[in-house]
Amino acid sequence: MPDKLIEGEVCWRSPSNIAFVKYWGKYGTQLPKNASLSMTLSESYTITSIDFKSQQKNPKREFYFNGEFNEAFSARIWKYIASLCGIFPFLEEMDLIIRSKNSFPHSAGIASSASAMSALALCLTDIERLVYGTLIKDDAFYKKASYIARLGSGSAARSVYGGYSIWGQAKSAHVKSENKFAIDFNSEIHPKFQQLQDAILIVDEGQKKVSSSVGHSLMNNHPYADDRLAQANKHMEELALALKEGNTAAFIKIVETEALSLHALMMSSDPWFILMKPQSLEIINKVQEFREKTGKFICFTLDAGPNVHLIYSKDDEVEINKFIEKELKQFCSKRHVIFDEIGEGPLKIK
C-alpha cells in the first residue's frame, strides 16, 4: 500500500445477462464444468459505489442496499471481500462503505447476482487501478474485473462485457475461451443478432426456490452429467456459428433446447426440483404457436426459475408487444413484464 493517505469513491453500473448456453455445474474455485454464452442486458442493472479510505487500524465496513442496512446481503458481501484479500491485500487496511441498488425490484425474480457481483468487482478492480496505477489498458482491466466477478458469481464474469460474451473453456477450435474469466464475443456477430430484445415475463416474483450453489452441486453426481457436457460443448460450437452466419432457425433450436435441458437436469437431480410453473408452460406453448402461425423470429429461454425470457428482433417489436399484451400478460404475476434488450455493458459513473 502506498504510504500516503488514499481516499476516494468509485461507482459502476453493471448489467445482468441472460445465458443462451447455460453454465450448470462447477468445480474447484468457481470454475465452470462447461462453457457458456450470454447476452448482456441493458435495463436490468446494479449501481454500486464504494467510498474507500486507506491507513485505518480498525477499518470501517458498511454495506447499504437501496439505502438501508441489509443483513443477509451484507454477510455475503463481506465474506466475498475477505476471500479476495490475497488478490487485493490493500482491502484489509481500508474503510469500505458500499452502497448498492438495482434498477429492477428485488422481488421481480430476476437473478441479480450477475449484475450485483460484476458491479462490485468493477469497483474493487478500479480501486486497485487508482491506488497502484495498474490495469491502465482496458483489456487488462476488464479481464481482471471478470476474474474477480467470477469468484462472486460465475455468471457475473460475463457481465463485464456488452453484447455477447463467453465464459469457460469451449471444446472448439473456433471459439476463444478461458475458464478463469469471460471473453468478449462481439467481433463476428451477424446484424440480425445485434439488436435482440428480451421481454422478461414475471411468472413468479418470489425468491429463488434453489440457490445457484445448490443447483450447481447437484451436477456433481448427476446421472446425465457426461451427456450434458457433450451437449453444452456441441451447443457452444453451433451457437457461435449461428450467431456469425445469422442463422435464426439454429439459434431458436439451441436456445430453447438449452433452457429445457437446464430444467430437465434439475428435474432429474437427486433431490429433484421443478422450477417451472404451469404459467411458464402456458407461455412456452403460446410462443411456439405464435411462431408457427407468423413465421416470426421469436424464442424463449429460462433461468433457474419460472420466469420466461422472450427473445426477438427489434424489427418485430410492435407486433410482439401486441402478442405479449393480448396473450401472455395474463400468465404473469400482476401482468408484470420487464422489457429489456441487448446492452453495451458496464459504465463507470463519475
Residues binding ligand PMV (CB under 6 A): 19, 22-23, 36, 111, 113, 153-155, 212, 262, 303-304
* Rounded Cα gap, residues 137 and 168, in angstroms: 23
| Least separation in angstroms between CB 64 and ligand PMV | 23
Burial pattern 161-184, b for ≥16 Cβ within 10 A else e, equals bbbbbbbbbbebeebebbbbbbbb
Handedness of CA 278, 279, 284, 288 (dihedral sign): positive
**Of 196 and 320, CB closest to ligand PMV:** 196
| Least separation in angstroms between CB 162 and ligand PMV | 16
**Of 18 and 135, CB closest to ligand PMV:** 18
Q: What DSSP character marks residue 176?
A: -
**Of 17 and 54, CB closest to ligand PMV:** 17
* Rounded Cα gap, residues 54 and 62, in angstroms: 15
| Least separation in angstroms between CB 210 and ligand PMV | 10
Angle at 149 between CA 145 and CA 155, to 5 degrees: 125
Bridge partners (DSSP) listed for residue 199: 310, 339
* Phi, psi for 102 (deg, rounded to 5): -105, 150
| Least separation in angstroms between CB 39 and ligand PMV | 11
| Least separation in angstroms between CB 153 and ligand PMV | 4
**Of 23 and 142, CB closest to ligand PMV:** 23
**Of 54 and 269, CB closest to ligand PMV:** 269
**Of 33 and 296, CB closest to ligand PMV:** 33
Neighbours of 211 (CB within 10 A): 12
**Of 1 and 214, CB closest to ligand PMV:** 214
**Of 155 and 333, CB closest to ligand PMV:** 155
**Of 151 and 242, CB closest to ligand PMV:** 151
Angle at 275 between CA 249 and CA 40, to 5 degrees: 50
| Least separation in angstroms between CB 324 and ligand PMV | 23
Q: Which of 226, 225, 209, 207 is nearest to 217 (CA)?
A: 225
Cα distances (angstroms) measured from residue 165 to each of 93, 188, 205, 344: 34, 12, 27, 12
| Least separation in angstroms between CB 18 and ligand PMV | 7
Q: Which helix (H) or strand (E) holds 257?
A: helix 248-267
* Rounded Cα gap, residues 188 and 107, in angstroms: 36
Residue 350, Cβ density class (10 Å: 0-12 exposed, 13-18 middle, ≥19 buried): exposed
| Least separation in angstroms between CB 290 and ligand PMV | 25
Which residue carries 408487444 as its cell? 321
DSSP H helix total and E strand total for the chain: 8, 14
| Least separation in angstroms between CB 146 and ligand PMV | 13
